[in-house]
A and B are shown apart, each in its own frame.
Chain A
Amino acid sequence: MKTLNLVQAVNDALAVALEAHDDVVLLGEDIGRFGGVFRATAGLRERFGEERVIDTPLSEAGIIGTAVGMALYGLKPVPEIQFSDFIYPGFDHIVNELAKYRYRSGGQFPCPVTIRTPVGGGIRGGHYHSQSPEAYFIHTPGLVVVCPSTPRDAKGLLLASIRSPDPVLFLEPKPIYRKAVGEVPEGDFEVPLGQARVVREGGDVTLIAWGAMVSLCEEAAARIAPSGVECTIIDPRTLWPLDIDTIADAVSATGRCIIVHEAPRTCGFGAELAALVQERCFLHLEAPIRRVTGWDTPFPYTLEHAYLPSVERVLDAVEATIAF
């Protein structure tokens, strides 16, 4: 075990993958000489050479399209999109090629590409450096969508993603790149895709959160525990495929459920979670499922503290669902 922050854990996972597999290639804007704008790829070009850690032009469609082609020829590319807000020019390649290649080729061409991209706000980045675009990707069949909340999960899930035969959107919560610090196993290890993590167990209400929102929920749970309200916290870790059994078991036990996410409210991933929970736990629910989310506006620059879910907003929701 060693103590790392989340971005160091990502760097560690990439080094392990590059060392273990000759066919793993990294590509992206500023990832080589500069080591990545968040330092996720620092030192990797020096160690593995410029043919495996490739600096690209500013062309997200080009980066993802190139990765698709590399994967079809047998490589395992790990492109970085510098901010998820920039991923939309590559959206056609993602939903029309990457997500569909295995299906369209009758299984002849799997497309093992892992797109890493930082998501989320709280870094005073404004509209174009703060978005959480998971809803578009979870909706598209053929894509695996992952979002870790701890350094340990970041390393283990990234290695599992790179080795997955199918395309993965690996969403890295940038506000906790350095804030999340924890013990990470050394060397090679994986956290399996599609398994949720029970972060905390309590009998009164189930909080579901991922990425940077997990630690927020932990703080809320700790703050309300002295008043006798005990929260279960579930981190799905993989948003698709979703470990709905773990979630449904928890909600059936507590009878109350709150979903917390940064992305805008309407048609966000919280809507899907709520739809599944009420389908599976209808007779166990003691109160309506609630969402604590970003608001239905573009991400604001000066008001990001008001836009993002806060401990206070989570606590308000807990109190409202208990009081129902």
Chain B
Amino acid sequence: MAKLSFREALNQAMDEEMARDERVFLMGEEVGHYDGAYKVSQGLLAKYGERRVVDTPITELSFAGVGIGASMVGLRPIIEMMTFNFCILALDQIWNNAAKMRLMSGGQYNVPIVFRGPNGAAHMLSAQHSQATENWFCNVPGLKVVSPATPGDGKGLLKAAIRDDDPVIFLESEIMYNDVGEVPDAEDHVLALGKAHVVREGKDVTLIGYSHGLKAVVAAAEALAKDGIDAEVIDLRTLRPLDMETIARSVRKTHRVVTVEEGWPFGGIGAELAYRIQHALFEYLDAPVTRVTQLDMPMPYAENLEAACLPNARDVIAAARAVSYRT
């Protein structure tokens, strides 16, 4: 096991996949000569040259479309969005072309493409640069949506996303690029998409989180343990498709669920989880599935207001106590 930062782990994943498969190439704003706005593509231009690490103009709609075209004729593009806030400009290409092409062409064309980059709030970037965009993708048939919480998962899931034959939205966290964690050395460290991970076993309440939000969940679980509530923590890893098997196994044991996300509440990932859990596990539930989310408003700029807007461990603890009827 090597200790790597999130940024290094993602870099290694791209490097290994580009070495393994010459069809894989990287394209986006400043991914080449500048080594990436967040240095995730550091050294790749020097190693693979300008044909495989392509700097683009500032036009997300265009290079998303070029990538989709390239994937339809046999290449396997990784498209870096400098942030997913800017990916909003490319949604027509992703929703209407990438997601639909396999079905629309009767299976003649598949679109093996990865759109990756930072997502969500990243400290005082205000309303237009702090958006958690996952739910705009999770309602779209034809897309897979992945959001890792650790450097090791980041590497294993990105490699799986690059090898996947269909479009994958790969959501990173800007404030986690410097996080350090253990990353398996094996070149075939590939984690299956669509599989959740039980981070902590417990019997009293199931806490479900992902990406940066998982930190609040883990901190809450530790605090709850001191209070006699033994929480099980599940990291979704993949948001679409959801791993309902792992979730069901946990809920049959705990009978209580709290979902945690850094996106907006109305129609978020927690809503889908709540539907599926009550539908599949109605007779097991001892309390309503309870959601912890960002407040339902544009992200404020001020540091204190941003903190008040985002979910934290305190909110998760309060929700876990509420579903345990221990308020």
Q: Which residues of A contact B (CB under 8 A)?
A: 85, 88-89, 91-92, 95-96, 99-100, 103-104, 127-128, 135-136, 138-142, 240, 263-264, 266-272, 274-275, 278-279, 282, 285, 287-291, 295-298, 300, 324
Q: For the complex, give the distance between the alpha carbons of A92 and B90 in Å.
A: 9
User: Which 6 pairs show the lowest CB-CB distances between chains A and B?
Assistant: A275-B274, A88-B92, A274-B275, A271-B271, A288-B282, A139-B267
Contact between chains at A100 and B104 (CB < 8 Å): no
* B162 in the interface (beta carbon within 8 A): no
What per-residue 1/0 map shows which CB atoms of B233-275 lie under 8 Å from chain A?
0000000101000000000000000000001101111111011
**Cβ contacts under 8 Å, B268 to chain A:** 139, 272
**Cβ contacts under 8 Å, B242 to chain A:** 266
Known: A127-B104, A128-B96, A139-B136. A278 touches B266 (CB 8 A): no
Q: How far is the CB of B110 from chain A (nearest CB, A)?
A: 14
Contact between chains at A138 and B266 (CB < 8 Å): yes
Contact between chains at A135 and B289 (CB < 8 Å): no
How many residues in B have their beta carbons less than 8 Å from beta carbons of A?
Answer: 49
Contact between chains at A298 and B99 (CB < 8 Å): yes
Contact between chains at A271 and B274 (CB < 8 Å): yes
Contact of A104 among B127, B266, B280 (CB under 8 A): B127
Contact between chains at B100 and A278 (CB < 8 Å): no
Show 11 A/B contacts (Cβ-Cβ < 8 Å), sorted by A. A89-B92, A100-B128, A100-B298, A104-B126, A135-B267, A139-B135, A139-B266, A140-B264, A142-B297, A274-B274, A298-B99
Contact between chains at A88 and B142 (CB < 8 Å): no
**Cβ contacts under 8 Å, B270 to chain A:** 275
Contact of B135 among A96, A135, A285, A288 (CB under 8 A): A135
Q: Which residue of A lies closest to B85 (CB)?
A: A96
Contact between chains at A96 and B297 (CB < 8 Å): no
Q: For the complex, give the distance between the alpha carbons of A274 and B276 in Å.
A: 9
Contact between chains at A275 and B104 (CB < 8 Å): no
Contact of B139 among A88, A127, A135, A275 (CB under 8 A): A135
Q: Which residue of A lies closest to B259 (CB)?
A: A275
* B91 in the interface (beta carbon within 8 A): yes
Contact between chains at B139 and A297 (CB < 8 Å): no
**Cβ contacts under 8 Å, A288 to chain B:** 278-280, 282
Q: For the complex, give the distance between the alpha carbons of A289 and B126 in Å.
A: 37
**Cβ contacts under 8 Å, A278 to chain B:** 274, 278, 288-289
Contact of A272 among B89, B99, B127, B271 (CB under 8 A): B271
Q: How far is the CB of B277 from chain A (nearest CB, A)?
A: 9
Known: A127-B100, A267-B272. A282 touches B297 (CB 8 A): no
Contact between chains at B240 and A266 (CB < 8 Å): yes
Contact between chains at A291 and B275 (CB < 8 Å): yes
What per-residue 1/0 map shows which CB atoms of B281-295 lie under 8 Å from chain A?
010010111110000
Q: How far is the CB of B151 from chain A (nearest CB, A)?
A: 28
Contact between chains at A268 and B282 (CB < 8 Å): no
Contact between chains at A287 and B282 (CB < 8 Å): yes
Contact between chains at B128 and A290 (CB < 8 Å): no
Best-buried of A85, A139, A240 by chain B (most CB within 10 Å): A139
* B310 in the interface (beta carbon within 8 A): no
Q: Which residue of B lies closest to A134 (CB)?
A: B267
**Cβ contacts under 8 Å, A91 to chain B:** 88-89, 91-92
Q: Which residue of B lies closest to A135 (CB)?
A: B139
* B219 in the interface (beta carbon within 8 A): no
Beyond A138-B267, A271-B267, 5 additional contacts (C-beta under 8 Å) are A95-B131, A127-B104, A267-B139, A272-B266, A275-B271
Q: Which residue of B lies closest to A298 (CB)?
A: B100
* B227 in the interface (beta carbon within 8 A): no
Q: Which residue of B lies closest to A138 (CB)?
A: B267
* B109 in the interface (beta carbon within 8 A): no
Contact between chains at B92 and A271 (CB < 8 Å): no
Q: For the complex, give the distance between the alpha carbons of A92 and B128 in Å.
A: 10
* B192 in the interface (beta carbon within 8 A): no
Contact between chains at B278 and A289 (CB < 8 Å): yes
* B49 in the interface (beta carbon within 8 A): no
Q: Which residue of B lies closest to A295 (CB)?
A: B141
Q: For the complex, give the distance between the alpha carbons of A272 and B95 in Å.
A: 21
Known: A139-B264, A275-B270. A88 touches B91 (CB 8 A): yes
Q: Which residue of A lies closest to B134 (CB)?
A: A267
**Cβ contacts under 8 Å, B142 to chain A:** 297-298
Contact between chains at A282 and B288 (CB < 8 Å): yes
**Cβ contacts under 8 Å, B131 to chain A:** 95
* B19 in the interface (beta carbon within 8 A): no
**Cβ contacts under 8 Å, B136 to chain A:** 136, 139
**Cβ contacts under 8 Å, B297 to chain A:** 103, 141-142
Q: For the complex, give the distance between the alpha carbons of A95 and B135 in Å.
A: 13
Q: For the complex, give the distance between the alpha carbons of A272 and B91 in Å.
A: 22
What per-residue 1/0 map shows which CB atoms of B77-114 lie under 8 Å from chain A?
00000000100110110011001100110000000000
Q: How far is the CB of B138 from chain A (nearest CB, A)?
A: 4
* B176 in the interface (beta carbon within 8 A): no
Contact between chains at B88 and A271 (CB < 8 Å): no
Q: Which residue of A lies closest to B268 (CB)?
A: A139
**Cβ contacts under 8 Å, B128 to chain A:** 96, 100, 104
Best-buried of A85, A96, A268, A271 by chain B (most CB within 10 Å): A271
**Cβ contacts under 8 Å, A95 to chain B:** 88, 131
Q: How far is the CB of A115 from chain B (nearest CB, A)?
A: 16
Contact between chains at A275 and B275 (CB < 8 Å): yes
Contact between chains at A267 and B282 (CB < 8 Å): no
Contact between chains at B135 and A267 (CB < 8 Å): yes
**Cβ contacts under 8 Å, A266 to chain B:** 138-139, 141, 240, 242, 272
